[in-house]
Structure 1
Amino acid sequence: MTKFYDDKKILSISMTDDRTGIDFENEFFEIGQLPYNMELDANKVDDVDYLIDYAVTYANGTNTDFEYQYDEDGNLLDGCSVSYTVEDM
């Protein structure tokens, strides 16, 4: 689980590969390039709601920034699960 904040809210989010069970939200959001607040143990972003939408649409196969692969039955391959909580600052 990785934390983000935008001066209004704090987001705790995990993205888990359905095949391997490995969390990959750090890589997905490229957190190494974001400012980090030690006190909050969270990375600074402009809008946590945008991150939620981006992750959820990626997981359900509707994010237009990505190309998806489907099996012969139309099921999304390489799916993932997203779970998150948001709290006000």
Structure 2
Amino acid sequence: MSAQFAERPCGPPERLRTSAEIRRALPEGMRSEFDKAIGNATLTERAHVLALWSGIAIEAADPSGDEQVRRFQEGRLEAHALEWYQEREGRSW
């Protein structure tokens, strides 16, 4: 029998899966709020809380999304329909 690595579950590799991974990825000022949320979650709520905070940690690591929202609200963000990008690339998805 040969030793082989177990296959990872499907999903993007950058997705934070465990509470420890999420906590490490959060800015220090958000960790106590995360600790409180995960500590108060029931077993059935835990997966939802982890998914929510995983997204928060990813967003906190790249705050450029906030700037894009501000630009959109101010009417300064160039945005197009999917068809515009398809035409530009000469393909359809």
The TM-score, its normalising length taken from structure 2, stands at: 0.29
Larger-gyration structure (1/2): 2
| Structure number with higher helix proportion | 2
The TM-score, its normalising length taken from structure 1, stands at: 0.30
| Structure number with higher strand proportion | 1
Question: RCO (CA 8 Å, sep 6+): is it higher in 1 or 2?
Answer: 1
